[in-house]
Amino acid sequence: MRRTAWRPSTIIRPTRGALRPLLVAIVTLALVGILSTSTRAAPPRPEPDPPCVPGPLAQAGPRCQSPTSPALSSPAATAPVLSSVVCTPGRVWRWHGNCPNYGPATTGYRLTHISLPNPLPELPVVEIEPDPDDDLVPFTYARVQDLPLLIYRHPMEAALGLPPVRILYAGDQWVSIEGEVEYGGERWYQINKDEFARADAFALARPSHFQGVYLSEQPQLPFAWINRTVRPSATPQGPPSPAGRTFYRYELVSIYAQEVRGSNELWYLIGPDQWVEQSYVAKVTVDPPPPGVGPGEKWIEVDLFEQTLAAYEGERMVYATLISSGRPGPTWTESGLFRIWLKLWHGKMSNPDTQDGDPAWYYLEDVPWTMYFNGATALHTSYWHDTFGFTYSHGCVNLPPRDARWLFYWTSPPISADVKYVNGPGTWVWVHNSSPFGQ
């Protein structure tokens, strides 16, 4: 028998009156759903965390945390991929890990929330007043400005046409002057026993009056000397503030914050809305003793990048000043940990690689307060320039006269006035390069 499809025996058809209420109900439900969707309130945004305050001077708020820290991420939101983020200041708190550390919004957010104390803390420095009865240097010095220079046993021998006892030919030559005489209407300087030269061949030295600072307690902030005239900017890389004050060479300032720009630019905050670029300052930062220095021992830190020096007793910084180390190249000052091995009240220095007659020759008489620490490299007074805070020397560490004298008496081995020199081993000297841009 062939199977056939089942068909109901009776078909129920709705009447016109029953269909209309059904359609009205369906349309009503649809409209209610649309209205409820469009008027539903958006979920409230979570309150942002308090701002992260950089540096040691936070007045309120948490310390800055890493991008993976729970305090800087929202568990209710999934951070989008970096390519989809526009890092406005309002979003930095939420998607911190996906924003560049030094993008415009991140930088703006960070600068806005730098909070400086009011009043600003003072550095614990004691500026040493020089004794008015003390001479700045133990001799009167002069540069030989007319070369070659004929030196005679006495001015009379020059008048008689006798030969000089010696001749200074070329280079950078400085002498100490022991006296002055007049002969035949001319002034003559005596520069050594039985050695005279015409006074107009010399230019008298003007040693630097700059002196560093003694620290009454451990400084809590980095500090710096302005090394050339600068007018700060309101923001890093901004133009100098027209209404701002000008800072002059050798002014001492505190550093409250810093900002990096690119791979070789650094800006320091030295006051409210006062940013200066790194090259305008010579900074001093407290550092721990290097390995090899024992607890409580005296040691000296020489920073070749900053051109600064700090003296320590154990971990405590007690003195700081500016220096001039060797110029880049063959006369660059060598880094390392050394000890003072020889101290002498004063002595002559010259170029060991050449001789008089060569333009590279230099000869310096009676360099005072000299402390040798690495072979022929020494800490010593420089009476012939005032460019401290910049490289200048032939390899030694040049010091302003008053700083050299202070260190000479502070360092070991001690030396008495009745001897010319004393041997070490003495105070440690740590020479290093703290460049934030690499060596």
Q: How far is it, in rounded angstroms, from Cα 292 to Cα 430?
A: 10
Q: How many helices (H) and strands (E) does the chain have?
A: 5, 26
Q: Is there a shared CATH topology between the 140-204 domain and the 220-283 domain?
A: yes
pTM recorded for the entire structure? 0.78
Positions in the chain short of pLDDT 50: 1-14, 22, 24, 27, 29-80
pLDDT the model gives residue 274 = 96
- By the 8 A CB rule, do 181 and 191 touch? no
CATH code: domain 140-204 is 2.30.30
Query: Domain limits of the chain?
Result: 70-112, 140-204, 220-283, 286-432
Would you identify the CATH topology of the domain 286-432?
Answer: L,D-transpeptidase catalytic domain-like (2.40.440)
Whole-Å CA distances, 410 to 3, 144, 298, 369, 427: 121, 33, 9, 11, 9
Encode pLDDT of 22-61 as tens digits: 454 554 544 444 444 444 444 443 334 443 333 444 333 3
The burial of 247, by beta-carbon neighbours within 10 Å (0-12 exposed, 13-18 middle, 19 or more buried), is given as: buried
pLDDT the model gives residue 68 = 33
Whole-Å CA distances, 228 to 122, 127, 253, 279, 308: 22, 21, 13, 9, 15
Question: At the top level of CATH, which class does the domain 220-283 belong to?
Answer: mainly beta
Collect all residues with Cβ–Cβ distance below 8 Å to 156 and sequence separation of at least 6. 183
Strands 265-271 and 179-183: what pairing? unpaired
Q: What is the DSSP letter of 43?
A: P
- By the 8 A CB rule, do 277 and 266 touch? yes
pLDDT the model gives residue 279 = 97
Q: What is the DSSP letter of 83?
A: G
pLDDT the model gives residue 113 = 72
Strands 252-254 and 125-126: what pairing? unpaired
Strand partners, 151: 166
pLDDT the model gives residue 264 = 87
Q: In what order do the strands lie in the sheet with 252-254?
A: 252-254, 223-226, 281-284
Q: How far is it, in rounded angstroms, from Cα 123 to Cα 286?
A: 13
